[in-house]
């Protein structure tokens, strides 16, 4: 096995798994509801060493969902859909995912039984729509979360309701958490981005394996710009941060993390 050019003698880190999110819901694009799942998904994936590379938000339209699911699932290791899995006319995610892969949406016997047991004599055709899955889907569950999550190949069909979305993340994590996690360091300074640019450029050039970010803060008395250093090789991330701090003038930084 070749050694890493950046850390001689050590085997190179395998590239991270990649992920995309497809967020479905007219209510988000009309501004009626504020999206609340992407941020928590991003943080969860980060902790698992999975790189979230793209998020797409679209309307409740089957053909549009099918097109995006086909494209995003082919170009990423994992795809997470959020929303559109309830019983009403605007819940068309299952049909969209099925169409993306050219299979039918069919009633899953276990989900149908769970719905009938739960709603008993009140169970309607509407409730049973929640038993539909793309034909061939698997159900993922854990001891803590009885209600399973639908997975079809590399696509996880997550609910849009934020409280339920969060409840399901541990099940996701138990299946996909195999990579080296990302670490992140930060430096806070009172310098502005225009003055920081040449210093940052030298770090970016010397540490191509570390992601360097620069974020100005509006209205904060303790600092003006936050610099971040990210990667999966902790020693290299620390080295990049320390090299940057060494370039700062006297009186800086305000603090580091």
Please identify, using beta-carbon distances, which residue of 12 and 86 lies nearer to its own copies: 86
Q: Strands 17-24 and 78-82, how do they pair?
A: parallel
Q: Report cis status (omega within 30 of 0) of the bond before 160.
A: no
Shortest distance (Å) from residue 178 CB to its own copies: 19
Please identify, using beta-carbon distances, which residue of 7 and 59 lies nearer to its own copies: 59
Identify the DSSP state of 230.
E
Please identify, using beta-carbon distances, which residue of 153 and 226 lies nearer to its own copies: 226
**What are the start-end ranges of the H helices in the chain?**
26-29, 38-47, 62-75, 93-100, 109-119, 125-128, 162-176, 193-206, 234-247
Please identify, using beta-carbon distances, which residue of 90 and 135 lies nearer to its own copies: 90
Shortest distance (Å) from residue 163 CB to its own copies: 5
Concatenate the DSSP letters of all residues of 167-218 into one string.
Answer: HHHHHHHHHH--SPPPEEEEEEESS-HHHHHHHHHHHHHH-TTSEEEEEE-S
Please identify, using beta-carbon distances, which residue of 46 and 153 lies nearer to its own copies: 46
Shortest distance (Å) from residue 153 CB to its own copies: 23
Shortest distance (Å) from residue 1 CB to its own copies: 28
Q: Which two tokens stand for residue 42?
A: 């991003």
Q: Which two tokens stand for residue 213?
A: 């970010």
Residues that bind its own copies (CB under 8 A): 26-35, 38-46, 51-59, 86-90, 119, 122-127, 129-130, 161-164, 182, 184, 193-198, 200-201, 204, 211-216, 218-219, 228, 230
Q: Which two tokens stand for residue 165?
A: 């979305």
Shortest distance (Å) from residue 110 CB to its own copies: 18
* CA separation, residue 48 to residues 12, 142, 150, 172 (Å): 18, 18, 20, 10
Identify the DSSP state of 248.
S
Shortest distance (Å) from residue 137 CB to its own copies: 21
Shortest distance (Å) from residue 127 CB to its own copies: 3
Place of tokens 């034909």: 135
Please identify, using beta-carbon distances, which residue of 9 and 121 lies nearer to its own copies: 121
Please identify, using beta-carbon distances, which residue of 56 and 103 lies nearer to its own copies: 56
> Measured over all CA atoms, what is the biggest interatomic distance in the chain, rounded to whole angstroms?
74
């Amino acid at each position: 096995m070749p050694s890493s050019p950046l850390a001689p003698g050590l085997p190179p880190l395998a590239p991270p798994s990649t992920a995309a999110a497809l967020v479905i819901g007219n209510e988000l694009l009309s501004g009626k509801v504020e999206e609340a799942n992407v941020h928590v998904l991003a943080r969860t994936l980060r902790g698992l060493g999975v790189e979230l590379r793209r998020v797409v938000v679209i309307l409740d339209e089957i053909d549009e969902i099918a097109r995006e699911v086909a494209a995003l699932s082919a170009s990423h290791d994992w795809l997470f859909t959020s929303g559109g899995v309830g019983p009403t006319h605007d819940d068309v995610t299952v049909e969209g995912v099925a169409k993306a892969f050219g299979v039918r949406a069919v009633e899953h016997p276990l989900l149908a039984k769970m719905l009938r047991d739960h709603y008993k004599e009140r169970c309607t055709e509407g409730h049973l729509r929640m038993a539909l899955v793309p034909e061939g889907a698997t159900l993922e569950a854990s001891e803590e979360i009885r209600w399973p999550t639908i997975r079809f190949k590399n696509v996880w069909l997550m609910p849009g309701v934020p409280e339920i979305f969060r409840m399901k993340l541990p099940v996701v994590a138990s299946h996909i958490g195999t990579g080296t996690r990302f670490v992140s360091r930060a430096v806070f300074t009172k310098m502005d981005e225009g003055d920081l640019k040449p210093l940052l450029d030298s770090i970016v050039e010397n540490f191509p394996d570390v992601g360097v970010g620069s974020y100005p803060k509006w209205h904060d008395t303790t600092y003006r710009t936050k610099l971040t250093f990210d990667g999966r090789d902790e020693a290299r991330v620390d080295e990049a941060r320390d090299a940057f701090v060494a370039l700062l003038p006297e009186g800086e930084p305000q603090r580091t993390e």
